[in-house]
Amino acid sequence: MSYIVFGAGGHAKVIVDILRACGEEIIGVLDDHCTEEKWCGLPILGNRNQIDQLLSLYPEALFIVAIGDNATRMRIVSQLKAATVKFGIAVHPSAVVTPSAFIGEGSVIMPNSVINADAYVGEHVIVNTAATIDHDCRIEDFAHISPGVHMAGGVQVGRCAHIGIGASLIPGIRVGGNTLVGAGSCVIRHLPENVIAVGCPARVIKTYKDKG
């Protein structure tokens, strides 16, 4: 398959490496700010204004939006969907994904991560390096599961939530949409939407308006 990557930052570097490790062809990179002709050895194809032209040239190309920030990724995906772009999935060869798990379009599964039986990973989700998603977990669209996160069975993570690096979540916990769980936190109680929670055990320290 042939891919076009949207984004030319650090997160995109990892996704490019995943696609290369899978032996996929990468046509090039789109970015709204990069002024170089090449990035990571790949041609810069322009910015989002070139989408229609690229779809004409590469009608079978799959896109991945390589943006780490959930709200920004969601906004760009919405614009690309309006142009009838098709999205791919990037799963590193070292990741363990059980056959009964579901991975939605546009999602990326980083090196050494594990997704166990009957887990559901929605669209345009990031499961980052060495994260573990146990059985029957459900991660909604545009969420970001950071490196080293450990989610026990039956955990639910809402749309656009961000689980910080090294956090742990006990079985059956629900984390609401747009909620941020701080790095190293231990989540032992349900968390509502639109809050920031930190600590061990994790406690809500801030509430904010819905960013979605």
Catalytic residues: 135
Task: Single out the residue of 127, 19, 110, 93 nearest to residue 63, CA to CA.
Answer: 19
DSSP state of 121: E
Give CA–CA dist 83/79, Å, rounded: 7
DSSP state of 18: H
**What one-character-per-residue DSSP string does 75-95 give?**
HHHHHHHHTT-EE--EE-TT-
CB 36 within 8 A of CB 11: no
Q: How many residues does the chain have?
A: 212
Give CA–CA dist 104/61, Å, rounded: 17
